[in-house]
Amino acid sequence: MQEVTATSRHYVDRLFDPDPQKVLQGVIDMKNAVIGNNKQKANLIVLGAVPRLLYLLQQGSSSSELRAECAVVLGSLAMGTENNIKSLVDCHIIPALLQGLLCPDLIFIEACLRCLRTVFISPVTPVQLLYTDPTVIPHLMSLLSRSQRTQEYITQIFSHCCKVSTPTPEHQTVLFNHGAIQNIAPLLISPSYKVLFETTSHPDLMLVDEELLSQVFVRMMQRDQPIDMQLTAAKCLTYMCRAGAIRTDDSCIVLKALPCLVRMCSKERLLEERVEGAETLAYLMEPDVELQRIASVTDHLVAMLADYFKYPSSVSAITDIKRLDHDLKHAHELRQAAFKLYASLGSNDEDIRKKITETENMMDRIVSGLSESSVKVRLAAVRCLHSLSRSVQQLRTSFHDHAVWKPLMKLLQNAPDEVLVMASSTLCNLLLEFSPSKEPILESGVIELLCSLTQSDSPALRVNGIWALMNMAFQADQKVKGEIVRALGTEQLFRLLSDPDSNVLMKTLGLLRNLLSTRPHIDQVMSSHGKQIMQAVTLILEGEHSIEVKEQTLCILANIADGNTAKELIMTNDDILQKIKYYMAHSNVKLQLAATFCISNLIWNEEDGSQERQDKLRELGFVDILHKLTQASDPNLCDRAKTAMQQYLA
């Protein structure tokens, strides 16, 4: 180690020689010494070579050749480890190199660009450094035409500083506003494969003149083109399609991009191509059931994805040991991609879901995916499970046979929020009344867990917690309903009734409606919580809420009106009666129907005290309104009003 350090120190010392010729020779020798030698690179960085190289690079008195060689050495140091890149960025290499681009010398410009490209390709470099100075992007655009090398490096820099996952849309807008499309689109017909490839790597920008662009991409997807070119062109069309620039039924999507992406999923392709192909295809067809159907019958895709779980199947197939080592480390990415694609494929169509669950050992694979060490695999597996859980048949068969609820409950114990959201969504489906998993889940003490979700800061988790409780309370016995009310606590229940998120409010009303069903339950809940419930109902009916929220609230009132003793809480509350009257004459039929149903339940003949209630409501003018509603144009409303009127005539 000391030996290496001693020779490294010698290289650094030569950078300070007073003779410029010796300095140049020292930089050239340093360049040759660091090629492929990471230890040497790290030593030189520790010994302070970077600030000195940057100083020489920025000195106007340095010769063009010296400045260019300094940029080459810095580029070589950047090709080491991520720590090297961090050290270079900390020494302010980026502003120094960007400044260098203002020099007229093309060789120096190319060396600076090559080094910038290496630095920006690294995931540890903050991309916003390219956007700090507003003059940088227009200057880079102007350098595009200088040479094939400047085209190659600049398109690579843009590609990495405009990736879908990292930057804010503002970065893409900046590039767009500075003419990225006008400047880059012509390069698509460049003779340089590297330029072509990078140009297509930021398709979010490609929403201009899509007619022409889409045809260029179609040509790039031909089977005689290099694989990464085909894949990248298919990604471009995918992003353009998802951005609404190309229709999902356009032939360039259905006949070109989709089949190309399916091809990328085959066994013959490299691991990273299979991963990218599957993830892009999942994204392409996520919102479109027709594309899901087409993909499901293209090249036996559903069966082909099963191979993603058997990787590498035979070690002998991969003769390159380095490749094998790489693939074993990344095999989990294949599983993640397969789960994502299965989730997308099965999100709408019952037949496709059946096909997926019947694929060899599929349910076992999902179950083991739920407990993998990689969070991304767990998330993709639970996404896949959620997609399949939308099927009544699968809930009744494969979900039950494989006791999927057990690993799902385990996953809910301590998971990151994004996994929790998916897992709790899936649980909502497993708690539907026709799901055989509902009973064992109830017995496993899930209520406390769901009540804690309703207190989350995340609206999605609050919705799922209350949604699952709502499903659980549907047609449940009094014991389960009592447990829900006790675990949730009235305070939290009423807090949820004033939640700013309308989805949370709707599901809470749904829960309340399910708790207030069947007479004994209605009377029991109202005898202990009647005052607060009536207060909450009043507030919602008076507030600025959607038609759906008010309809659900009136349905709760109709349930209360169906109780034996509970109905007195409405009859003795003139404020509520006036509100019911107001909604019977509302312009929205749904609200009129729900309000009329309340009155129908209050005046029903066969019940104790019906005569007194009928008389009171007649005095308040309800009979006149009912009479008017028997002439309503909506047949359902008309029938309901007639049924109510008959109670007065009987």
Q: 616-638 pLDDT, tens per residue? A: 988 888 889 989 989 989 999 88
408 SS3 class: helix
For residue 206, give the nearest of 188, 220, 222 by alpha carbon: 188
Rounded to whole angstroms, the Cα distance separating 298 from 500 reads: 45
522 SS3 class: helix
Single-letter amino acid code for the residue at 584: M
Specify the fold of 528-649.
Answer: Leucine-rich Repeat Variant (1.25.10)
How confident is the prediction for the chain on average, in pLDDT?
88
- The conformation of residue 315, written as its DSSP 8-state character, comes to G
Q: In sequence order, which ranges of 36-131 are alpha helices (DSSP H)?
A: 38-46, 49-58, 64-78, 82-90, 93-100, 106-121
For residues 205 and 175, the answer to whether their CB atoms sit within 8 Å is: yes
Give residue 60's pLDDT: 86
Pick out the chain residues at pLDDT < 50: 1-2, 164-167, 201-211, 316
For residue 593, give the nearest of 618, 557, 565 by alpha carbon: 557
For residues 264 and 274, the answer to whether their CB atoms sit within 8 Å is: yes
Question: 427-447: per-residue pLDDT in tens?
Answer: 999 998 888 888 889 888 899
Q: Could you give the percent of the chain with pLDDT greater than 90?
A: 54
Rounded to whole angstroms, the Cα distance separating 566 from 148 reads: 82
For residue 598, give the nearest of 549, 641, 638, 547 by alpha carbon: 641
Single-letter amino acid code for the residue at 59: Q
Rounded to whole angstroms, the Cα distance separating 631 from 108 reads: 87
DSSP 434-483: T-TTHHHHHHTTHHHHHHHHTT-S-HHHHHHHHHHHHHHHTT--HHHHHH
Residue 515 token pair:
């708790």
Residue ranges of domains in the chain: 528-649
Rounded to whole angstroms, the Cα distance separating 425 from 421 reads: 6
Give residue 312's pLDDT: 65
The dihedral formed by the CA atoms of 167, 169, 171 and 177, expressed in degrees to the nearest 10: 160
Residue whose entry in the numeric block shows the structure tokens 């007065």: 648
Find out whether the peptide bond into 312 is cis, omega within 30 degrees of 0: yes
Give residue 165's pLDDT: 47
